[in-house]
Amino acid sequence: MQNQHENLDRSVMTRIVICLVILLLAVGGFVGLKSMKKSPEKVVRTERPLKVQVITAEAVDNQIFLTGYGELMPIREVHLSAEVSGRITELHPRLRSGEVIEQGELLFRIDDTDYRTEFDYNRERLEVIEQDLALAQSELKRVKGLFENNQVGSAAGVEQAKKTVNTNADRLIQVRQAITRAKINLERCRVTAPFDGRVVSVDVEAGQYVTPGRVILVVADDSILEVEVPIYGKDAVEWLKFAPEKRSASVNWFGDVQEVPVRLSWTELPSQHHTGYLHGIAGFSPETRSVRAIVRLPAGSAENSTTTPLVAGMFVTVSIPGELLSDVIRLPRTAVSYENTVYLAKDGRLVTTPVEVIRVQGDDAFVRSGVKPKDLVITTRLINPLEGSKLRIENSKGGE
């Protein structure tokens, strides 16, 4: 029994020794492996700068231009029709679309035979009635004298003589009116050009019978062309140059505009320019909230003799000079975000600043607050950059 206990104790001790040996070997292996491991090299983290281009902000005075588009129209277009009935006996030899006819030249003539006959007939009647009236007046004087001075005749006879005078006087008035009408109709048989104009359309032939009211031809006055240019109402009020004199307080309308020179160009040839002038305001459109500015273009407005003329019907670009912007910062339009902010380079770091955009014109944006002269404005397009990011400026040029 005692031997069994001794054997059990030896077995337990053996196991404990084996476990301790294994543990010591594991610890020794771990220490050995750890001593063989090399420490990693230390990496120094450096901030990566953003490559940007900048301009130096400068204060400038800039002329505002209001740009619009419209179709040129003649200053007036007259629809001519016959005022009397008759057959066309004569037409202008160049009476066709596109021809220019000078003021006073005959356009067409209507057969005046009936109207001349009426005129001659009434003129002959006039002579007869004038004689009848003279005789009636003499008879009235004679009858009235005999009755009043010699008591010869009667009051009824005097009254009858007066009626005869009045009847002939009325006939005289009527025949004179008939002569006037016949004379007017004779004049209306001959239709002349009301001004130096371009023939737009013709709807008549020689020998054709015409009646009053039917439009025969259309003539346009191209000596001055007009174009109505829609301008956003707020821009018109802020930037158009209005005359210092105010309209009467009883009229609710815009004041008179200053007749400033205006540049026009055909949209198909934008490099060629013509000079017109601002004439007035035609109206206000509630649908588009814009005013319709009238620009006029006199003949001979081209910059040089080789410039293609502007004619009625052309679609043109109009540039109207407005008020002067003073002491503003001009920036590229792309340098200003949709939130009206710009990125500045300060001490090599990116700084976001809000700005007040006064006007966007073409590729330029004009701002006042937020940017000062000599500030470095970043022109590179950046997408959600981190505030305070380090910058590397690749160029530095003055504002244009």
- Tell me, what CATH number does 184's domain have? 1.10.287
Within a domain: 352: yes
Q: What is the CATH number of the domain that holds 256?
A: 2.40.30.170
221, 74 Cβ separation under 8 angstroms:
yes
pLDDT score of 134: 80
Within a domain: 81: no
The number of folded domains in the chain is 3
pLDDT score of 399: 45
By residue range, what is the domain housing residue 289?
66-74+221-323
Within a domain: 370: yes
Q: What is the CATH number of the domain that holds 368?
A: 2.40.420.20
Within a domain: 17: no
Considering the domain architecture, whether residues 272 and 316 belong to the same structural domain is answered as yes
pLDDT score of 4: 56
pTM of the complete model beyond 0.75: no
pLDDT score of 102: 96
Considering the domain architecture, whether residues 177 and 229 belong to the same structural domain is answered as no
Q: Which of 289, 323, 357 is the last residue of a domain?
A: 323
CA 236, CA 283: separation in Å to the nearest integer? 12
Q: How many residues are listed for the chain in this entry?
A: 400
Where the chain has pLDDT below 70, the residues are 1-10, 12, 30, 32-45, 139-140, 142-158, 161, 246-250, 303, 305, 396-400
Considering the domain architecture, whether residues 379 and 364 belong to the same structural domain is answered as yes
Buried b (16+ CB within 10 A) or exposed e, 280-296: ebeeeeeeeebbbbbbb
Within a domain: 286: yes
Helix/strand/coil (H/E/C) assignment for every residue in the chain: CHHHHHHHHHHHHHHHHHHHHHHHHHHHHHHHHHHHCCCCCCCCCCCCCEEEEEEECCEEEEEEEEEEEEECEEEEEEEEECCCCEEEEEECCCCCCCCEECCCCEEEEECCHHHHHHHHHHHHHHHHHHHHHHHHHHHHHHHHHHHHHHCCCCHHHHHHHHHHHHHHHHHHHHHHHHHHHHHHHHHHCEEECCCCEEEEEECCCCCCEECCCCEEEEEEEEEEEEEEEEEEHHHHHHHCCECCCCCCCCCCCCCCECCCEEEEEECCCCCCCEEEEEEEEEEEECCCCEEEEEEEEECCCECCCCCCCCCCCCEEEEEEEEEEEEEEEEEEHHHCCCCCEEEEEECCEEEEEECCEEEEECCEEEECCCCCCCCEEECCCCCCCCCCCEEEEEEEEECC
Considering the domain architecture, whether residues 303 and 240 belong to the same structural domain is answered as yes
Within a domain: 194: no
